[in-house]
Structure 1
Amino acid sequence: MQAWQVHRNGEPREVMTLSDTARPEPGPGQVRLKVRAADVNFPDALLCRGEYQVRPPLPFTPGVEICGETEDGRRVLATTALPHGGFAEYALAEEAGLLPAPDALDDAEAAALHIGYQTGWFGLHRRAHLQAGETLLVHAAAGGVGSAAVQLGKAAGARVIGVVGGPEKVRVAEELGCDLVVDRRQTDFVAAVKEATGGKGADVVYDPVGGEAYTKSAKCVAFEGRIVVVGFASGSIPAPALNHALVKNYAILGLHWGLYAVKDPASIGACHAALTELATKGSVKPLVSDRVPLADAADAVQRVAAGTTTGRLVVLPEGAAA
């Protein structure tokens, strides 16, 4: 089979090589899946660089989430069992973690429903307890993680303010349903949020960016607001001023979605049922901006690493449904 492999750490385009390899053999509790579609995630770039919290042995195949097909023909979603990731014709996954792919979504959309939307659902509902009528501020609102949070926020009845960088991303965020979109390159989002909320601020901040995005968010979070820390796509990990959180009376909430699979595995299935229902109703639909062939996977990971993409890029092995 064909599979992308990383033999040394570095930038994705430089270290990912497409090779002919044997199909991976499942270990105890694992299954081999035919890859129907593999979503590209920022962690795939971090894996290539050797900067992710998980460091699989070299060589490895990146691609952390897929829509795949079991040997008995079931269409499923899975996080892959590294080092045998999804940028290949076949991947491995833990059998206990397989989830049925929603019928309402095609393979590419289904592949993009799993990690980003689960992260959004847990962040907004389990951690921040977002309520209908509240104001939700979403950073990188046109990206893969942010676009999921926008849709989930609207589905929950929140007023959503999206922060993006550039006119093209403004257009995408508006089409996603944001009530207000702020181009951070043109406008100070702190002032825009305060103006839009009559000085109150955002009840919930969803931050996959970190760095300056977090620092400024602390200036426009509401009384008893909640800042959900999802990741650090900016590459900068902020050091929160806890005295500021005390004086302004807001909460800083960390979200490590993968930990739920260890500490509360039943919650993953319950979340998937909720997401499947929302997808069936049409309340959420992953924004797939580009579907690329397996041969272009390295370039797709590099594009996501650069932060220039909107929505999701999804890799489709040869013969997979578009």
Structure 2
Amino acid sequence: MYAVRLHEYGPAENLRYEQITPPSPGEGQVRIDVRASGVHVIETRLRSGRGIGPHPAPALPVVLGGEVAGVVGALGPGVDESWLGRPVVGTLDAHGGYAEQAVAAVEALHRIPDRMAADTAVAMITTGSTALGLLDVAEAEPGDVALVTSAAGGVGALLIQALHRQGVTVVGVAGGPEKARQAMSLGADIAADYRDPDWPHAVHDALSGKEIGIVFDGVGGTTGRQAFDLLGPGGKFLLHGWSSGTATQLTTDDIIGHASTVIWAIGPQLLRRAGTMRELQARAIQAAADGGLEPLVKRYPLDRAADAHADLEGRRAVGKIVLVPAATAADSPADAQALSRPGR
């Protein structure tokens, strides 16, 4: 089979598309014929040899990727035969997703609903569950005003859709005018380009006296700090990433001065309502199956994984990046097309 393997830490071009021996499922595992593999910004750090949080730099060589969707093609010992041929999506124990075949534990899998595409399923299993978990933490109500950084990213696109449907006034902040327009098409009421140094003033004026009560910060750096400074008294600031390369820098005096609540909203916080990650994943998949959320997906052929990483690091990507088998990939502008505003 073909896979994308990393032999040496470093830049995106170190990812090599090559033939390797297919993995064999062990006890309680299945082998999946992969139709879509999710790509995360954390994997760009792991590729560089930098660990993050509970994720250490991987031993080399390694096939990165922690989430896949596809069809069960082989069973390990102890697995019921009913799994064979089943369309599934799930997370892997560690790595191995950037490949034509991957091994996963049965308990980590969900059946893909009828008529759901593999790329949609893989976009929802982690990115979708993260968005729903953040919404649980935020507890937004109709009439609230929420600001979403990285508004055209995988998580941000889902947050905007969900908040819009809840009757929340949404401010979408993204890098570049095209991404700002994308945020508007997803349901944002106001959109701004954070590359414009005056964007906070433009947002303040557009709100006409309304105060921002919730900020979802997945960018960090200068943009995250500017978003925090727009937060009204008593507001919530939810940190969930730093695509800029550095987390938003805040002090105790900042928090006291704003009378704000600052939450690192990843990890245990995501499960405050769902209870378990599996339950949260199931909710996310069902939300897409019901049509309540539609992930914005950008597809890359598996043999262009290096390009996917480079675009992700360069913040050129729109939506959730998904790798698909090179032989079946259709990497066209339509793959990143704007979604219609929910309800239209």
For normalisation by structure 1, the TM-score amounts to 0.89
Give the AA of the match of 2:250. Answer: P
Give the AA of the match of 1:81. Answer: D
- In the TM superposition, 1:42-121 aligns within 5 A as 42-53=41-52, 54=55, 55-71=57-73, 72-83=84-95, 85-121=96-132
Please give the root-mean-square deviation of Cα atoms over the aligned residues, in Å: 2.4
SS at match of 2:94: coil
Give the AA of the match of 2:34. Answer: V
What are the Cα deviations for residues 63-89 of structure 1, in whole angstroms up to 9, with x where unaligned? Answer: 222212223122222122334x21111
Say if 1:155 and 1:95 are closer, same or farther in 2 by CA, change over 3 A.
farther
* 2:20 aligned residue: 21
Identity %: 32
Alignment match of 1:299 (pick from 307, 311, 323): 307
- In the TM superposition, 1:1-322 aligns within 5 A as 1-13=1-13, 15-53=14-52, 54=55, 55-71=57-73, 72-83=84-95, 85-125=96-136, 127-186=137-196, 188-257=198-267, 266-289=275-298, 291-318=299-326
CA distance, structure 2, for counterparts of residue 226 and residue 28 of structure 1: 45
TM-aligned CA deviation for residue 107 of structure 1: 1.3
Gapped regions of structure 1 (runs ≥ 5): none
TM-aligned CA deviation for residue 189 of structure 1: 3.3
CA distance, structure 2, for counterparts of residue 219 and residue 123 of structure 1: 20
What are the Cα deviations for residues 166-205 of structure 1, in whole angstroms up to 9, with x where unaligned? Answer: 1211221121111111112336333233334344432111
CA distance, structure 2, for counterparts of residue 228 and residue 320 of structure 1: 39
CA distance, structure 1, for counterparts of residue 178 and residue 265 of structure 2: 29
SS at match of 1:205: strand
Give the AA of the match of 2:24. Answer: E
Contact between 1:107 and 1:321, CA under 8 Å: does it hold in 2?
no
Say if 1:100 and 1:153 are closer, same or farther in 2 by CA, change over 3 A.
farther
Contact between 2:300 and 2:329, CA under 8 Å: does it hold in 1?
no
TM-aligned CA deviation for residue 321 of structure 1: 8.0
TM-aligned CA deviation for residue 29 of structure 1: 4.3
CA distance, structure 1, for counterparts of residue 223 and residue 121 of structure 2: 29
What are the Cα deviations for residues 202-250 of structure 1, in whole angstroms up to 9, with x where unaligned? Answer: 2111111111122112211122211111111111223312122123211
Contact between 2:129 and 2:283, CA under 8 Å: does it hold in 1?
no
Gapped regions of structure 2 (runs ≥ 5): 74-83, 331-344
SS at match of 1:70: strand
SS at match of 1:114: helix
Give the stretch that moved more between structures: 112-121 or 25-34.
25-34
In the comparison of the two structures, how many residue pairs are matched?
Answer: 317
* 2:77 aligned residue: none
Give the stretch that moved more between structures: 236-245 or 176-185.
236-245
Contact between 2:174 and 2:192, CA under 8 Å: does it hold in 1?
yes
For normalisation by structure 2, the TM-score amounts to 0.84
What are the Cα deviations for residues 23-55 of structure 1, in whole angstroms up to 9, with x where unaligned? Answer: 113345443222111122212212211223222
CA distance, structure 1, for counterparts of residue 72 and residue 268 of structure 2: 23
Give the AA of the match of 1:154. Answer: H
